[in-house]
Amino acid sequence: MKVLVLNAGSSSQKSCLYDLTEPLSIDAPSPLWEAQIDWTAQAGKAVLRIKANGKKIEQTIESNDRAIDTQQMLKTLSEGETKVIQHKSEIEVVGHRIVHGGQQYRQSVRIDQSVKDAIADLARFAPLHNPANLQGIEAIEQSLGDVPQVAVFDTAFHSTLPAAASLYPIPYEWYEKGVQRYGFHGISHQYCANRAAQLLKRDLNNLKLVTCHLGNGCSLAAIQNGQSIDTTMGFTPLEGLMMGSRSGSIDPGVVLYLMREGNCSIDELEKLLNKQSGLLGVSGVSSDLRQVINSDTEQAKLAIDTYIHRLRSYIGAMIASLQGVDAIVFTAGVGENSAMIRSRTCEAFHWLGLKIDHAKNQASPVDQDIATTASKVRVLVIHTEEDWAIAQDCWKIIRSNL
Ligand code: ADP
């Protein structure tokens, strides 16, 4: 079964094609074809990058219209040196990463008009993401007609959060209007939990895990018996850990102060907290951890210290929610690649009997346990496979005719 996965963002769109065969492999296969559309490189144009058949091509499309650019992207599946299928009709299903599924979507669903209406309605909670996700669905409709499409929600995995973890202590009427903690990165946290159980050869239903998704966006999940019981992102992906350019949690009083004393408008505040804060805001260097590490200014050091301080304290919070921990999992760009962040974070948990093996930690581990044999807590580095997780959900939904 050929499954196309689409991750439609506002400034870029990533896509890949898998060929799934029965029985589904446990390990994530490499996609046959990968594509990325970037609308930020040139004004009014799109830069299309394709990887397939061991080749990489780049094209500039004289349009920044998602439907037109998606059509051009899909042509490369069956034409030219990146051709991997004879005809686009071979695609049996398209899976979409949808950022916000609100209270109603607790699992992946086949997309119909009511699902599209709900994604549009939830744009009030995720104005930066859901409209782009919906455009992605419509672009596929225009190019591939009535191919089955599946929505896989980044919030769904956290729909098991108990009320005490999902409520904000503000007047209850706002909770009734949907203002609550939803949590994000659910596709990655769920994938990592399953993979951790495989690697540890343990039953997921008998494990307490803290999964740390540390990319440009960062979040943690406390996973007990395979269910998310706490997480650090909330109503939006702005809450919780310090991130690349997002502040994470700050005293709401700071926001009030900036509005009152700094005359900041809502749009300015949104930009300040989402695009100008985090590692970038403190270091003044970059939102990319590699560049902050390579800079030797005091502010850059402070940015890293603050990042680690917050990461440690939120891991502590997740362990408290779990009332114990069997394993801590590091994933995404920072989690998978920065031995320094992993070792400095883990230092704070020596008192728990957690010890990492420094040689293993330094050796670019992928899907490995980097704790010492004697460690009382396992520490795993897992390469997240969100696209593969989406493809698997598509397979299940199409096979069971849901
Ligand atoms: P996204 O959240 O956009 O999917 P990624 O998961 O790819 O992002 O993570 C991107 C971040 O990973 C980069 O901004 C960079 O800070 C970090 N990163 C990647 N490689 C390394 C590395 N070798 N050392 C430290 N940080 C890294």
Q: Which atom of ligand 1 is nearest to the CA of 289?
A: 16
Could you tell me if the CB of 210 is within 6 A of ligand 1? no
Strand duo 33-38 + 55-61: pairing: unpaired
Ligand 1 centroid vs 47 CA: distance in angstroms?
A: 21
Which pLDDT value is given to residue 27?
85
> Residue type for 385, please?
E
- Taking each helix axis as running N to C, give the angle between helix 113-121 and helix 130-144, from 0 to 180 degrees, rounded to the nearest 10: 150
User: How many angstroms separate the CA atoms of 32 and 19, rounded?
Assistant: 7
Residue 385's contacts (CB-CB under 8 Å, 6 or more residues apart) are 28, 191, 195
Q: Per the residue annotation, which of 19, 69, 112, 154 is the catalytic one?
A: 154
Ligand 1 centroid vs 337 CA: distance in angstroms?
A: 7
Pick out the chain residues at pLDDT < 50. none
- Taking each helix axis as running N to C, give the angle between helix 298-322 and helix 339-347, from 0 to 180 degrees, rounded to the nearest 10: 60
Q: What is the DSSP string of 226-249?
A: TEEEEES--SSTTSSS--SS---S
- Taking each helix axis as running N to C, give the angle between helix 266-275 and helix 252-260, from 0 to 180 degrees, rounded to the nearest 10: 130
Joined tokens for residue 8: 């439609």
- Give the start-to-end residue ranges of the domains of the chain: 2-153, 202-381
Strand duo 33-38 + 46-52: pairing: antiparallel
2-153 and 202-381: same fold? yes
User: How many angstroms separate the CA atoms of 104 and 50, rounded?
Assistant: 36
Question: How many residues are there in the chain?
Answer: 402
Strand duo 327-331 + 378-381: pairing: parallel
Of all protein residues, whose CA lies closest to atom 26 belonging to ligand 1?
334
Is pTM beyond 0.75? Reply is yes
Could you tell me if the CB of 278 is within 6 A of ligand 1? no
Joined tokens for residue 46: 């799109």
Task: Could you please state the CATH topology (level 3) that the domain comprising 2-153 is classified under.
Answer: Nucleotidyltransferase; domain 5 (3.30.420)
User: How many angstroms separate the CA atoms of 4 and 12, rounded?
Assistant: 17
Could you tell me if the CB of 216 is within 6 A of ligand 1? yes
Q: Reduced to 3 DSSP states, what percent helix, strand and coil does the chain have, rounded to the nearest 5?
A: 45, 20, 35
DSSP tag of 95 = E
Which pLDDT value is given to residue 402?
62
Could you tell me if the CB of 289 is within 6 A of ligand 1? yes
Question: For 202-381, CATH number?
Answer: 3.30.420.40
Ramachandran assignment for 367, one of left (phi > 0), alpha (psi -120 to 50 degrees), beta (any other): left
The closest alpha carbon to 245, from 292, 211, 213, 210, belongs to 292
Ligand 1 centroid vs 334 CA: distance in angstroms?
A: 5
Q: Which atom of ligand 1 is nearest to the CA of 384?
A: 6
Strand duo 378-381 + 12-19: pairing: unpaired
Could you tell me if the CB of 338 is within 6 A of ligand 1? yes
Of all protein residues, whose CA lies closest to atom 21 belonging to ligand 1?
337
Could you tell me if the CB of 101 is within 6 A of ligand 1? no
Could you tell me if the CB of 290 is within 6 A of ligand 1? yes
Q: Which residue has the tokens 């495989």?
A: 198
Q: What is the DSSP string of 308-331?
A: HHHHHHHHHHHHHHHTS-SEEEEE
Question: Three-state SS for 15?
Answer: strand
User: How many angstroms separate the CA atoms of 283 and 303, rounded?
Assistant: 5
**Buried/exposed 89-105: b ≥16 CB within 10 Å, e otherwise:** eebebbbbbbbbbbeeb
Half-sphere exposure of 350 (CA within 13 A, CB side): 5
User: How many angstroms separate the CA atoms of 7 and 137, rounded?
Assistant: 10
Q: What does the CA dihedral 50, 330, 243, 36 come to, rounded to 10 degrees?
A: 10
- Judge whether 352 and 210 are in contact, CB under 8 Å: no
User: How many angstroms separate the CA atoms of 238 and 148, rounded?
Assistant: 33
230 catalytic? Reply is: no
Q: Which atom of ligand 1 is nearest to the CA of 244?
A: 14
Burial of 43 (0-12, 13-18, 19+ CB in 10 A): exposed
